[in-house]
C-alpha cells in the first residue's frame, strides 16, 4: 500500500511538473518554447525529407535525408548554414574515400582497414570542426553499401545517392530553420548581463548586513573571497550567451523586422558585460581587503565606519538588482532609474571617505584594511558609473 501511494505521488509530481513546463512554453518566450519550436521544426524537416527521398526518389537508403535534416537544426541560422556545409563536406569526403579505395583495391577486409584509417585521419581536420567524425561514419555506410551492391554501376549509383540524400536533407533542414520562426537570440545577450548582475547582487547583499553587525570573522570573509573567485565560471557562461546572441543575426531574415529604436545593440551589451566583469573584479578586491581584518584590533569607535560602508554596499546591491532585471523593452525607464541609484551610491561612497577622515582612521597603515577599503569603494563606484554611462550611451536613439 505504501509503495502504491509513493508511486502515485511520484506520478502526480511528474504530471504537475510536465504541466508547468508546457505552461511556461506557451506563455513565455523562454528555453521551454525554444525546445518546443526546435522539436516541431525538426519533425517537419525530417518528414519533408522522408517524403522526398522515399516517395519521390525511391532511394535505396532514404533515412539519410531526414537524418541530415535534423542534424543541422541548430539554435542559430548561422550555425545551421555553416554546419550543413561542413556536414555535406564530411559525408562527401567519406564517400569519396570509399569509392576511390573500393574501385582501386576491392571490397575485402584490407580495404575496410584502409578506408577506416584514411577517413579517421581526414576527420581530424580542423576545417570540418565538430562534423569531422561524420567522415568515418559516411565511409563506413558507404563501404556497407558498396559490398552489398551487385556490380560497379550499381555501386556508383548508390554511393552518389548517399551524397544526394545528404544534400537534400541539409537543404530542407536549412530552409525550414530559416523560414519558420528563425531563432533570434537577443534575449541571450540580455540574459548574459543578468547573470553577472545577479552574481554582483548576491555577493553584495550578503556582505552589507554582516558589516552592520560589526567586524566580520575570518571564516565569513574567507567565504566571501571564495564566492568572488567563483564568478569566473559565470563570466564564461555570460560570454557564451552573448556569442550565441551575436551569431543568431547572421543570415537571419527576422533581423530586418526588428525595431532598434530605444534598444541596446550587441556592442552595447558587450560593453556593459565587460564593465560588469571589471565591477565583479573590484568587488573581489574589496573582499580581499575585508579578509585582512584583524577583528581583535577593532575598537568600538570604528563601528560607524562599518555602518557607512554597509550603506554603500547596500546601494551597490540595489544597482546590481536593477541590472539583474534588465529588459530591453523597458530600457529607457530602467536607465533613468539606474542613474538615480548611481547618484545615491556616490553619496554613500563619499560618506565612507568622510567618516574615515572624521574618525582619523589609520588609512596609511598597510596592516589595517581601512585605507584599502576606502580606495576599493572609490574604484568600485568608478566602474559602476562607467557601466551606467555605457548603458545610457549605447541605447540607440
Give the C-alpha separation, 195 to 200, whole Å: 9
| Cβ within 8 Å of residue 134, ≥6 positions away | 87, 90, 91, 94, 123, 128
How many domains does the chain fold into? 2
Residue 134 and residue 207 in one domain: no
pLDDT band, residue 32 (cuts 50/70/90) = low
Beta bridge partners of 395: 264
Residue 91 and residue 154 in one domain: yes
The dihedrals phi and psi of 264, each to the nearest 5 degrees, come to: -90, 135
Residue 291 and residue 360 in one domain: yes
Closest by alpha carbon to 101, among 89, 92, 110, 91? 110
The single-letter DSSP state of residue 223 is H
Q: Are 309 and 298 within 8 A, CB to CB?
A: no
The H-assigned helical ranges of the chain are 2-27, 31-50, 64-71, 77-105, 109-123, 133-148, 152-179, 186-212, 218-229, 231-247, 266-291, 303-324, 331-358, 370-394
| Cβ within 8 Å of residue 293, ≥6 positions away | 215, 216, 218, 221, 369
Which CATH number characterizes residue 194's domain?
Answer: 1.20.58
DSSP for 239-262, please give it: HHHHHHHHHTTTT-GGGGG---TT
pLDDT tens-digit profile of 149-206? 878 888 889 899 999 999 999 999 988 887 876 655 555 667 777 778 888 888 888 8
CA dist list (Å): 125 to 99, 115, 131, 141: 20, 16, 10, 20
Q: Are 97 and 83 within 8 A, CB to CB?
A: no
Identify the weakest region by mean pLDDT among 39-48, 64-73, 121-130, 187-196. Answer: 187-196
Average pLDDT taken over every residue of the chain: 79
Q: Are 270 and 294 within 8 A, CB to CB?
A: no
Residue 140 and residue 237 in one domain: no
pLDDT tens-digit profile of 139-163? 999 998 888 887 888 888 989 999 9
Residue 196 and residue 172 in one domain: no
Report the pLDDT value the prediction gives residue 192, as an integer from 0 to 100. 74
Residue 191 and residue 133 in one domain: no
Q: Reduce the secondary structure of 145-173 to three states and give it as a string.
A: HHHHCCCHHHHHHHHHHHHHHHHHHHHHH
Question: Any idea what the Cα angle at residue 169 is, between residues 168 and 175, rounded to 5°?
Answer: 90
Residue 257 and residue 220 in one domain: yes
CA dist list (Å): 323 to 262, 317, 380, 383: 17, 10, 16, 14
Give the C-alpha separation, 164 to 59, whole Å: 10
156, 179, 202 - which closes a domain: 179
If one compares 279 and 9, the residue with the highest pLDDT of the two is 279
135, 155, 179 - which closes a domain: 179
Residue 311 and residue 263 in one domain: yes
Give the C-alpha separation, 239 to 242, whole Å: 5
Cβ burial of 363 (10 Å; 0-12, 13-18, 19+) is middle
Give the C-alpha separation, 378 to 363, whole Å: 14
The residue to which cell 551492391 is assigned: 149
Give the C-alpha separation, 38 to 42, whole Å: 6
Give the C-alpha separation, 291 to 210, whole Å: 13
Residue 153 and residue 83 in one domain: yes
The residue to which cell 568608478 is assigned: 382
pLDDT band, residue 294 (cuts 50/70/90) = low
Residue 172 and residue 43 in one domain: yes
Cell of 327: 529588459
pLDDT band, residue 103 (cuts 50/70/90) = confident
Give the C-alpha separation, 237 to 199, whole Å: 12
Could you tell me the residue range of the domain that residue 147 belongs to?
2-179
179, 209, 229 - which closes a domain: 179
Closest by alpha carbon to 210, among 222, 198, 225, 221? 221
Query: What b/e readout covers 32-70, taking b as 16+ CB neighbours within 10 angstroms?
Result: bebeebbeebbebbbebbbebbeeeeebbebebbbbbbb
Residue 153 and residue 225 in one domain: no
What's the mean pLDDT in 218-236?
76
pLDDT > 70: what percent of the chain?
Answer: 75
Residue 332 and residue 365 in one domain: yes
Identify the weakest region by mean pLDDT among 97-106, 151-160, 218-227. Answer: 218-227
Instruction: Answer whether residue 378 shows pLDDT above 80.
Output: yes
Amino acid at each position: 500500500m505504501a509503495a502504491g501511494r509513493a508511486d502515485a505521488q511520484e506520478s502526480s509530481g511528474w504530471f504537475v511538473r510536465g504541466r508547468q513546463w508546457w505552461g511556461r512554453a506557451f506563455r513565455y518566450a523562454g528555453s521551454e518554447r525554444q525546445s518546443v519550436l526546435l522539436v516541431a521544426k525538426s519533425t517537419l524537416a525530417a518528414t519533408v525529407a522522408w517524403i522526398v527521398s522515399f516517395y519521390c526518389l525511391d532511394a535505396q537508403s532514404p533515412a539519410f535525408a531526414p537524418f541530415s535534416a535534423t542534424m543541422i537544426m541548430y539554435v542559430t541560422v548561422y550555425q545551421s548554414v555553416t554546419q550543413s556545409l561542413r556536414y555535406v563536406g564530411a559525408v562527401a569526403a567519406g564517400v569519396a574515400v570509399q569509392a576511390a579505395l573500393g574501385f582501386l583495391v576491392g571490397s575485402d577486409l584490407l580495404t575496410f582497414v584502409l578506408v577506416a584509417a584514411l577517413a579517421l585521419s581526414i576527420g581530424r581536420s580542423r576545417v570540418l570542426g565538430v562534423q569531422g567524425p561524420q567522415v568515418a561514419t559516411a565511409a563506413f555506410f558507404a563501404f556497407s553499401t558498396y559490398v552489398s551492391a551487385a556490380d560497379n554501376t550499381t555501386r556508383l549509383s548508390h554511393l552518389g545517392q548517399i551524397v544526394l540524400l545528404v544534400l537534400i536533407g541539409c537543404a530542407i533542414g536549412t530552409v525550414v530553420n530559416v523560414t519558420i520562426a528563425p531563432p533570434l537570440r537577443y534575449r541571450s545577450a540580455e540574459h548574459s548581463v543578468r547573470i553577472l548582475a545577479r552574481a554582483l547582487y548576491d555577493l553584495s547583499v550578503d556582505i552589507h548586513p554582516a558589516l552592520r553587525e560589526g567586524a566580520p570573522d575570518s571564516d565569513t570573509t574567507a567565504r566571501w573571497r571564495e564566492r568572488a573567485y567563483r564568478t569566473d565560471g559565470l563570466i564564461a557562461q555570460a560570454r557564451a550567451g552573448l556569442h550565441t546572441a551575436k551569431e543568431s543575426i547572421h543570415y537571419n531574415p527576422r533581423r530586418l523586422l526588428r525595431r532598434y529604436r530605444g534598444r541596446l545593440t550587441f556592442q552595447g551589451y558587450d560593453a556593459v558585460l565587460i564593465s560588469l566583469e571589471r565591477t565583479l573584479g573590484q568587488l573581489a578586491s574589496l573582499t580581499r581587503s575585508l579578509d585582512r581584518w584583524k577583528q581583535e584590533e577593532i575598537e568600538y569607535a570604528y563601528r560607524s565606519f562599518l555602518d557607512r560602508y554597509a550603506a554603500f554596499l547596500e546601494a551597490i546591491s540595489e544597482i546590481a538588482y536593477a541590472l539583474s532585471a534588465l529588459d530591453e523593452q523597458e530600457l529607457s525607464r530602467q536607465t533613468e532609474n539606474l542613474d538615480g541609484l548611481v547618484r545615491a551610491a556616490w553619496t554613500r561612497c563619499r560618506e565612507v571617505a568622510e567618516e574615515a577622515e572624521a574618525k582619523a582612521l589609520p588609512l596609511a597603515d598597510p596592516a589595517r584594511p581601512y585605507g584599502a577599503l576606502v580606495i576599493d569603494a572609490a574604484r568600485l563606484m568608478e566602474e559602476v558609473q562607467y557601466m551606467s554611462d555605457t548603458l545610457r550611451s549605447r541605447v540607440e536613439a
